[in-house]
Structure 1
Amino acid sequence: MNTSPRSTIERPQRTTTNTGSFATIRPHLEITGDLGPRYDEILTPEALEFIAELHDRFAGTRHDLLAARLQTRVDAANGRDPRFLSETAHIRRDPNWTVAGAGPGLEDRRVEITGPTDRKMAINALNSGAKVWLADQEDATSPTWANVIEGQLTLFDAVRGQLSFTSPEGKEYTVTAEATPTIVMRPRGWHLVEKNLTFVDRANRRMAASGSLVDFGLYIFHNARKLIGSGSGPYFYLPKLESHREARLWNDIFSHAEDHLNIGHGTIRATVLIETIQAAFEMEEILYELRDHCAGLNAGRWDYIFSIIKTFRARGRRFVFPDRKQITMTVPFMRAYTELLVSTCHQRGAYAIGGMSAFIPNRRDPAVTAQALEQVSADKRREATDGFDGTWVAHPDLIPTARAEFDRVLGDRPNQLERTRDEVVVTAAQLLDVESIGGQISEAGVRGNVIIALRYIESWLRGVGAAAIDNLMEDAATAEISRSQIWQWIHDNSVTAEGRRIDRPWVEELVAEVFAGLERTPGDRFDDALEVFRTAALEPEFPTFLTVGAYARFL
């Protein structure tokens, strides 16, 4: 990476104030990462001061909530299942509150395209014809320092209509669409840090900055007024929430940012991904906490599956999953989850956005493309028929197929919020009914998980967070499913349909065989990927997220 001298960015000065016999330090951020071209346009003193203020006010609550997550996992491991909260029943019983709903430019969300924020992918998304672009700084982006800051530069230029890109081969890419999608930016989850920025608090304690606060803070600080002036607004997808208390923290941050930037209370809109089993039991409470800023909920299917495996991984056969391909959106516990999401959203005036099918077309293979379009069509037909107001795709070629299914149901309407689905009643037992899937674990399924995990982790370590592998779009969530299933099968002493016990020695042999067959290229990261996989899937201790340790050691 080309770097410019660190002196190109003016660092906030550390100041002290004497208070009696104590000296307090002005909270500030220090940059430890290399500085590339134009980084000074993003890492301005004013922006860093704003993010330091966010840390000063909210980092403590973030740490408390992360600690609460640990206790929740201990409770689950000890046999305590998630539940609908009795202490918040009054919120669920009160029919009189609704959320803010769609902001300007979010009225019609029938097809949203997701993707990372590198310049080429961003231009393709903006030219795609989708209604919304989910500009993803989370699971589709490997959080290298370059990806984090250059992704912000991509967004900065996109918001100002000045985004362009020239490939190493000399091909030029520009935004040519007359109408571009509304941008909804997804910051990193609460559990992730930004190690290239250090927060120094009032007691002179040093800690890695929060990835969430960095991503959110840089984007809104630089772009809020421009977005509002163009008829849109600062909009966000919120990932990995596990409770309404975490939603309350985001709401407090939004209110503070609106005051600081003088953009008016309620200008920010957030769509929350319901992608943890804990959040599924608190959907209404999450909407309630964010009601002045909330546009809707999204069914984040892959992380949701991962969350259930992770939460109940040591709870016995009741929670052992079969091959990943058998965990479809039509199995009972996934139907319960999506039915509850649509019903909850529409009763509160919130949009319900469907998830992403992993199938993608292959322009060099018509048969693969035909199968992908058939699978996506069926998936989006189910969502539109069930009452969803929009859906995700990961490839521009899938937009016409997805749009056709929603057009068939919506017609000229921008949504179907009037379908409140009052008939839906979902119980805790239905949300936790993994056992009814049935199915089997095959040797091919075990091998497939090893292949996907190794190939995706290697891609992620090279800085590519969304990878097409065997005609499926894989991101961090699907890699997490793959490695966590391996861990669960080993620790449950599961047996394949062919009669082979899944134990560590056999999986080690399989890993060695797969690894030996990988196509190697100069500079690949497969050796590191193997080490990450072993730590995440084969050790007795189960890392909560494989990306946390991999980021600390290898990025």
Structure 2
Amino acid sequence: MDDRIRITEHAPGQERVLTPHALELLLSLHDFAEARRRELRRLRRTRRAALADGATPTFLPETRHIRDDATWQVAPPAPGLEDRRVEITGPIERKMTINALNSGARVWLADCEDSCSPTWENVIKSQVNLQDAIAGTIAYTSPDGREYRVTAERTPTIVVRPRGWHLDERRILVDGEPMSASLVDFGLHMVHNADALIAAGRGPYLYLPKIESHLEARLWNDVFRATQDMLLIPRGTIRATVLIETISAAFEMEEILYELREHSSGLNAGRWDYLFSIIRAFRFRGDDFVLPDRAALTMTAPFMRAYTEQLVRACHRRGAHAIGGMSAFVPSAKDPAATEVALAQVAQDKRREAGDGFDGSWVAHPGLVAVAQAEFDAVLGEQPHQLARTRDDVVPDGAALIDLTTTPGDITEAGVRLNVEVAIRYMEAWLRGQGAVAIHSLMEDAATAEISRSQVWQWIHVEARTVEGRTVSRDWVKRLVREIAEATPRTEGDRLDEAVALFTEVALRPTYPAFFTLAGTERYLSPLTQPQAIAA
């Protein structure tokens, strides 16, 4: 192994994943991209600071020529990505992988990001399970002896979501500094699975999260070109769908498609992270930028309608798929009445997306696949997509994207309490290595926990008042934290105390951390002996 690269932890399966060839590729990717990644992270911080200081996001004048040029298109749909009407998401945990492959969905998003707690064991295990899934050898026997096998005649096309540009992989050091977590997840997938996917008539397909500008998409495109050259794969074989889940990216959708056009397979309306980004960007702005309870934030809110309709227009104008957002509901056999109501809500949500022109949408549970597919079947019929529906009736409107004043709903005492509870319970599970957690019949992940803790931070900062008349103060929230912690059953090996400390750090202190996952990783999952060299 090159002495420039050092692995600081060990997990089962590591020798199979971190092979000499794999480490050689990771080192090459680091040398190719790290300087630009650092600069792009600096630009992120500058833009975020400007928004926090009162700047208004706008469509970029310097890229107007890209938006005005009606002639360019992205690459045509890649094999296995022509029809994406239902996509199921989840961590690359062994049983969940098998369930996803048997689900009947057209696409499986194999997630290394928001639904995966980035313990070193999970990072390695995800890559092992992904290799086995692609090889067709994955199987699992539960502790109670139940066997899980892939039995579906047609399994979903696999699309991998690596971690975002802002995250470091602190267990792999190059010249003493952490590697990009994005490049680790991407590089390991490429070196182990690209040839097998291509041989099976598919390809190495990706979802790209947390992108904040077209320049970040440009770096990904350059990484794709370089990697394909290194692995002797034809350029354009890699395809990527970008999650539009930050407010700045919403103003650069066509530019992002343009930068990735030889590798693009569309955009996704990443609704939960998008809401998190809105709160984070405008957290200092006062009443006009304060949103109601998380439960009241539906896709029918005018600013969310503007976001989704402009996304469909941008995609279809350029020949790219538009994929709808996550239905996070988890069906429960214990409460059939509540499940029936929730399924009706999921159907209504997917009916709206299909009617708006989306080509497919996300679900978090196999039990939702049939419900979502029925709504898209009703609109698509035998057609694989709606690319011909260009939504010329939609006019790009920057003001509509950031007009939160018409959002219906209230801040309630119950909503504040629920945010605190969900954030603490999720963080406790995340610290134990669980990245997708069912809480109150919803599948929570890092994005939904970010909304919960960010709303609490903002409500405290602006001294928001609940509909009952109580001011959301730091002291009151501290009391809620104590009450929730005391009411939570303790189990051997739980990390509740650390979760409370983490929530306090990211929701109750005067300064606002950009991501709770950064603080959680640095303090609890993979601390370094020396401070991190660069900020998020």
What secondary structure, in the 3-state scheme, does the structure 2 residue paired with 1:444 have?
Answer: helix
What secondary structure, in the 3-state scheme, does the structure 1 residue paired with 2:371 have?
Answer: helix
Conserved in 1, the CA contact under 8 Å of 2:131 and 2:193? yes
What secondary structure, in the 3-state scheme, does the structure 2 residue paired with 1:236 have?
Answer: strand
In the alignment, is residue 322 of structure 1 matched against residue 297 of structure 2? no
Q: Which moved more, 1:429-438 or 1:86-95?
A: 429-438
Hey, which bits of structure 1, 4+ residues long, moved more than 3 A? none
Which amino acid in the other structure matches residue 277 of structure 1? I
Partner of 1:183: 158
What aligned pairs does 1:107-506 form with structure 2 within 5 A after superposition? Answer: 107-200=82-175, 206-506=176-476
Conserved in 2, the CA contact under 8 Å of 1:456 and 1:475? yes
- Alpha-carbon deviations, 1:160-181, whole Å to 9, x = none? 1111112122222111111100
d(CA) in 2 for partners of 1:507, 1:118 = 35
CA drift at 1:29: 2.0
In the alignment, is residue 513 of structure 1 matched against residue 489 of structure 2? no
Match of 1:56 among 9, 18, 31: 31
d(CA) in 2 for partners of 1:174, 1:360 = 22
Task: Summarize the Cα distance change of 1:514–1:35 in structure 2 as closer, same or farther, 3 Å threshold.
Answer: closer
CA drift at 1:199: 1.1
Conserved in 2, the CA contact under 8 Å of 1:381 and 1:406? yes
CA drift at 1:101: 3.3
d(CA) in 2 for partners of 1:339, 1:167 = 44
What secondary structure, in the 3-state scheme, does the structure 2 residue paired with 1:296 have?
Answer: strand
CA drift at 1:438: 4.0
What secondary structure, in the 3-state scheme, does the structure 1 residue paired with 2:406 have?
Answer: helix
d(CA) in 2 for partners of 1:536, 1:415 = 41
- Alpha-carbon deviations, 1:233-255, whole Å to 9, x = none? 00000000000000000000000
Conserved in 1, the CA contact under 8 Å of 2:431 and 2:499? yes
Q: CA RMSD in A?
A: 0.8
Q: Mind listing any 5+ residue stretches in structure 2 that lack a counterpart? A: 526-536
Which amino acid in the other structure matches residue 364 of structure 1? K
In the alignment, is residue 33 of structure 1 matched against residue 9 of structure 2? yes
Q: Mind listing any 5+ residue stretches in structure 1 that lack a counterpart? A: 1-11, 15-27, 201-205
Conserved in 2, the CA contact under 8 Å of 1:29 and 1:49? no
Partner of 2:21: 46
Partner of 2:2: 13
Conserved in 2, the CA contact under 8 Å of 1:101 and 1:351? no
d(CA) in 2 for partners of 1:403, 1:101 = 23
Identity of aligned residues (%): 60
Conserved in 2, the CA contact under 8 Å of 1:450 and 1:483? yes
Conserved in 1, the CA contact under 8 Å of 2:11 and 2:120? no
Which amino acid in the other structure matches residue 326 of structure 2? M
Conserved in 2, the CA contact under 8 Å of 1:359 and 1:375? no
Conserved in 2, the CA contact under 8 Å of 1:29 and 1:197? yes
In the alignment, is residue 95 of structure 1 matched against residue 70 of structure 2? yes
Report the count of equivalent residues.
525
Conserved in 2, the CA contact under 8 Å of 1:108 and 1:131? yes
Partner of 1:4: none
Q: TM-score by structure 2 length?
A: 0.97
d(CA) in 1 for partners of 2:2, 2:359 = 48
- Alpha-carbon deviations, 1:433-465, whole Å to 9, x = none? 111114211000000000100110011011000
What secondary structure, in the 3-state scheme, does the structure 1 residue paired with 2:434 have?
Answer: coil
d(CA) in 2 for partners of 1:392, 1:256 = 31
d(CA) in 2 for partners of 1:245, 1:160 = 35
Which amino acid in the other structure matches residue 2 of structure 2? Q
d(CA) in 1 for partners of 2:103, 2:333 = 16
Which amino acid in the other structure matches residue 427 of structure 2? I
What secondary structure, in the 3-state scheme, does the structure 1 residue paired with 2:16 have?
Answer: helix
Greater C-alpha Rg? 1
What secondary structure, in the 3-state scheme, does the structure 2 residue paired with 1:51 have?
Answer: helix
Which amino acid in the other structure matches residue 304 of structure 2? M
